[in-house]
Amino acid sequence: MSETPVPPAENADDKPMIDTRFYGRRKGKALKAGQKALMETLYPRLRLPLAGEAEVPTDLKALFPRPVQEVWLEIGFGGGEHLAHQADTHPDIGLIGAEPFVNGIGKLLKHIDEKGVENIRIYGEDIRPWLKELPDACLDKVFLLFPDPWPKTRHADRRFVNPWNLDVLARVMKDNTLFRVASDDMTYIRHTLSVVPVHPEFDWLVSGPEDWRVRWPDAIESRYEAKAHREGRTPKYLTFRRRPRA
Ligand SMILES: C[S@@+](CC[C@H](N)C(=O)[O-])C[C@H]1O[C@@H](n2cnc3c(N)ncnc32)[C@H](O)[C@@H]1O
């Protein structure tokens, strides 16, 4: 696993608070010829400037070539099947997908090319620095599907769901919008349920077991979800709502 040499975030007392390094992979096997070609032709049109490269527009809808009603974000789209499906079935929504793994980007480009969708933009890196640059209340939905679980206690700081990222998400999400989290790792599910519902800006939308046992009806099975099913693990689906601002 590659580690980017980014120093940990610091609080007002100059003490490290949370590990902000990216521990995932950025590269895997050589891309297939078709994906490589799409990286050269399609990706430059869909790729968003990275944090620090350009100012983020005050209205994220301006990132899309056609008018969109809302902007949704998928963090860590993996092979992009869920993102492409959402874009295909919601042509009036602008979807931003974030994924640092270049092979995942290659797979998403293939889906985009096959489906002919035009409402996806790709942030090809760790989303966290960019989230900090986003304007307040600019997102209408956020997906975090099968995040890297980091089940060992000593790696718990690496989990995407943590109070610091939740503070940023709360700032960039509009009132009453949804944050969907799925995982097949019970440590991650327990961790998420110990962190999100106690955050002052989020509620867990739950009325019974169906709410966490059944995948959202407009979603499709992602690559990691399929792997979990093949290996006998049962995914859980959590829906959180960003509370209205006072
Ligand atoms: C276990 S995979 C799941 C992929 C996909 N969501 C699925 O369900 O098949 C987690 C993905 O999140 C990506 N990821 C991890 N941290 C990220 C971050 N800070 N920003 C964007 N993507 C991230 C990883 O590169 C990896 O591809």
Percent of the chain having pLDDT more than 90?
91
**Ligand 1 mean position to 147 CA, how many Å?**
5
Average pLDDT estimate for 89-110: 98
> Residue 148: what residue type?
D
pLDDT tens readout for residues 71-89: 999 999 999 999 999 999 9
Distance CA 151, CA 8 (A): 20
Is 50 exceeded by the pLDDT of residue 70? yes
Please name the residue whose Cα sits nearest to atom 15 of ligand 1: 76
Per residue in 171-188, is it b (16+ CB within 10 Å) or e — as a string? bbbbeebbbbbbbbbeeb
Average pLDDT estimate for 149-175: 96
**What pLDDT was estimated at residue 2?**
40
Average pLDDT estimate for 169-194: 98
184 lines ligand 1 (CB under 6 A): no
CATH fold group of domain 33-242: Rossmann fold (3.40.50)
Is 90 exceeded by the pLDDT of residue 197? yes
24 lines ligand 1 (CB under 6 A): yes
Percent of the chain having pLDDT more than 70?
93
Looking at every residue in the chain, the average pLDDT score rounds to 93
* pLDDT tier for residue 9 given thresholds of 50, 70 and 90: very low
Ligand 1 atom closest to the CA of 227, numbered from 1: 9
Catalytic pick among 19, 148, 157, 203 = 148
**What pLDDT was estimated at residue 19?**
77
**What pLDDT was estimated at residue 18?**
72
| Helix residue ranges, H only, the chain | 33-41, 43-46, 81-89, 102-115, 128-133, 163-172, 186-195, 210-213, 223-230
Distance CA 17, CA 151 (A): 20
**What pLDDT was estimated at residue 67?**
97
97 lines ligand 1 (CB under 6 A): no
Is 70 exceeded by the pLDDT of residue 8? no
148 is catalytic: yes
Is 50 exceeded by the pLDDT of residue 137? yes
Task: Decide if 164 contacts 9 (C-beta within 8 A).
Answer: yes
Distance CA 232, CA 107 (A): 25
Residue 97 in tokens:
């997908």
Residue 212 in tokens:
């966490």
Ligand 1 atom closest to the CA of 81, numbered from 1: 9
**Ligand 1 mean position to 246 CA, how many Å?**
33
222 lines ligand 1 (CB under 6 A): yes
**What pLDDT was estimated at residue 17?**
63
Domain residues of the chain, as ranges?
Answer: 33-242
pLDDT tens readout for residues 32-63: 999 999 999 999 999 999 999 999 999 999 99
**What pLDDT was estimated at residue 5?**
40
**What pLDDT was estimated at residue 57?**
95
Is 60 exceeded by the pLDDT of residue 1? no
Is 80 exceeded by the pLDDT of residue 181? yes
> Residue 80: what residue type?
G
Is 50 exceeded by the pLDDT of residue 178? yes
